[in-house]
């Protein structure tokens, strides 16, 4: 059972889909931003010679010069929106631990055994990620709305081009300016992970492992004495705490890994090695806990547990 815990809580469908969404979102931003910049140049009336010098292309060769280009951009917005909505089925819904467990294929006996403990930490593990991408999806719907209204206006213009549209229709100017601003004010910032989430999760993991180490030390001290029988279900409590530990560490790996993807430039150079060390340490903890759970039924389980203490520190 222990080996598959990694599949459930560390490297399962939901974790991979979070990564897929972030990769797609970063790619979406990289593709959309230069297109918006080109249209923005036309909005501000830059002449064709300067436009070609800045962008390296003629106005008539730009991606979003007319109605057809606007529809292509709308299709891109729709794909990104649909990808989030479809892959996680989280946007606009109350995706909770029970849904997570079902998606990951967590067996019913394990779900029943540790449901209360695992559910307790949903709000600091995956809950914030669900909320984060739901916001992205909602904001993409708003971004899409600005473009849909531009398409309606372009359909009324004889040449159906932005160049003429900006001259004839003030509303088109206003709508594009709103789309442009919203993209940079809302979509781009949401592509970066919230550091507060990572910090809160680190604190929760630290507190959980502090309690777990105490439980292990006390159990180890008395497990081989005459009072061992007074401990009752203490081993099962430790097992639950270990399961919760893997669950938390799995969430931490995905949160930290997503943050790493959004670093850039000098910031990435400074922090990448530090993040790599944290990820390596977390994987070491996961493997150690997994090994301990594999030996849960052994007669010398307490000896396995005590070796965990320095690793959990």
Partners of 66 in beta bridges: 161
pLDDT level of residue 58 (50, 70, 90 thresholds): low
Other beta carbons within 10 Å of 38: 22
**Do 45 and 167 contact (CB within 8 A), yes or no?**
no
Same domain, 136 and 234: no
Assess whether 29 and 178 both reside in one domain. yes
Q: Residue 105 is encoded by which pair of tokens? A: 């294929």
* Helix pair angle (67-88, 13-43), 10° resolution: 160
| Helix/strand/coil for 143 | helix
Same domain, 137 and 209: no
Same structural domain, 24 and 125? yes
The pLDDT assigned to 61 comes to 56
3-class DSSP state of 204: helix
Burial of 61 (0-12, 13-18, 19+ CB in 10 A): exposed
Of residues 100 and 251, more confidence is placed in: 251
pLDDT tens-place string over residues 163-212? 888 888 999 999 999 999 999 999 999 888 777 888 999 999 999 999 99
Bridge partners of residue 161, in order along the sequence: 66
pLDDT at residue 110 greater than cutoff 90 = no
Selected residue with higher pLDDT from 83 and 204: 204
Containing H/E element for 258? helix 234-262
Same domain, 146 and 210: no
Domain boundary among 151, 175, 190: 190
* pTM to 2 decimal places: 0.83
Least confident of 107-111, 120-124, 230-234: 230-234
Number of domains in the chain: 2
One domain for residues 207 and 183: no
Report how far apart the first and last C-alpha atoms of the chain are (Å, whole number).
25
- Which tokens go with 263? 């670093």
Asked if residue 127 and residue 100 are part of one domain, the reply reads yes
Going by C-alpha positions, the residue among 200, 194, 191, 88 that lies closest to residue 143 is: 191
How confident is the model over 214-265, as pLDDT tens digits?
A: 988 888 887 776 555 665 677 788 888 999 999 999 999 999 888 887 765 5
Last residue of a domain, one of 190, 214, 229: 190
Q: CB atoms < 10 A from the CB of 300, how many? A: 10
Residues 204 and 172 in one domain: no
| Residue 251, burial from CB neighbour count under 10 angstroms (0-12, 13-18, 19+) | buried
Same domain, 115 and 136: yes
Verify that 12 and 157 share a domain, yes or no: yes
Residue 107 sits in which domain range?
2-190
What contacts 90, CB < 8 A, 6 or more positions away? 84, 130, 133, 134
At which of 190, 206, 233 does a domain end? 190
Please name which of 180, 217, 242, 230 lies closest in space to residue 1, comparing C-alpha atoms.
242
Say how many CA atoms lie within 13 Å of 123 toward its Cβ: 2
- Residue 285 pLDDT level (bands cut at 50, 70, 90): very high
Same domain, 153 and 17: yes
The DSSP code for 180 is H
d(CA 279, CA 84): 26
Which residue in this structure is represented by tokens 């993807």?
261
* In a shared domain, residues 6 and 136: yes
Q: Would you report the helix, strand and coil content of the chain in percent, each value rounded to 5?
A: 80, 0, 20
18: Cα separation from own chain's centroid: 5
């Amino acid at each position: 059972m222990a080996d598959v815990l990694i599949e459930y809580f560390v490297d399962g469908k939901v974790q991979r889909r979070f990564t897929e969404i972030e990769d797609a979102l970063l790619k979406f931003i990289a593709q959309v931003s230069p297109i918006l910049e080109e249209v923005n140049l036309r909005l501000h009336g830059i002449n064709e010679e300067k436009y070609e010098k800045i962008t390296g292309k003629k106005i008539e060769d730009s991606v979003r010069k007319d109605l057809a280009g606007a529809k292509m951009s709308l299709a891109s917005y729709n794909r990104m929106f649909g990808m989030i909505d479809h892959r996680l089925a989280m946007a606009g819904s109350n995706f909770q631990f029970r849904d997570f467990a079902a998606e990951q294929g967590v067996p019913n006996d394990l779900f029943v055994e540790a449901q209360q403990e695992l559910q307790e930490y949903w709000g600091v593990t995956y809950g914030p990620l669900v909320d984060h991408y739901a916001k992205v999806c909602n904001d993409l719907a708003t971004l899409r709305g600005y473009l849909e209204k531009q398409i309606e206006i372009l359909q009324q213009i004889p040449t159906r081009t932005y160049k003429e549209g900006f001259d004839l229709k003030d509303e088109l100017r206003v709508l594009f300016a709103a789309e442009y601003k919203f993209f940079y004010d809302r979509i781009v910032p949401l592509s970066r992970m919230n550091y507060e989430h990572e910090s809160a999760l680190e604190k929760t993991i630290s507190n959980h492992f502090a309690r777990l180490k105490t439980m292990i030390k006390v159990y180890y001290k008395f497990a081989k004495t005459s009072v061992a029988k007074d401990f009752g279900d203490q081993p099962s409590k430790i097992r639950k705490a270990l399961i919760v530990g893997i669950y938390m560490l799995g969430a931490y790996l995905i949160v930290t890994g997503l943050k790493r993807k959004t670093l850039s430039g000098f910031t990435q150079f400074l922090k990448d090695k530090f993040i790599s060390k944290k990820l390596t340490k977390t994987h070491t903890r996961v493997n150690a806990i997994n090994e301990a759970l594999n030996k849960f039924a052994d007669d010398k389980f307490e000896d396995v547990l005590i070796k965990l203490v320095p690793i959990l520190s």
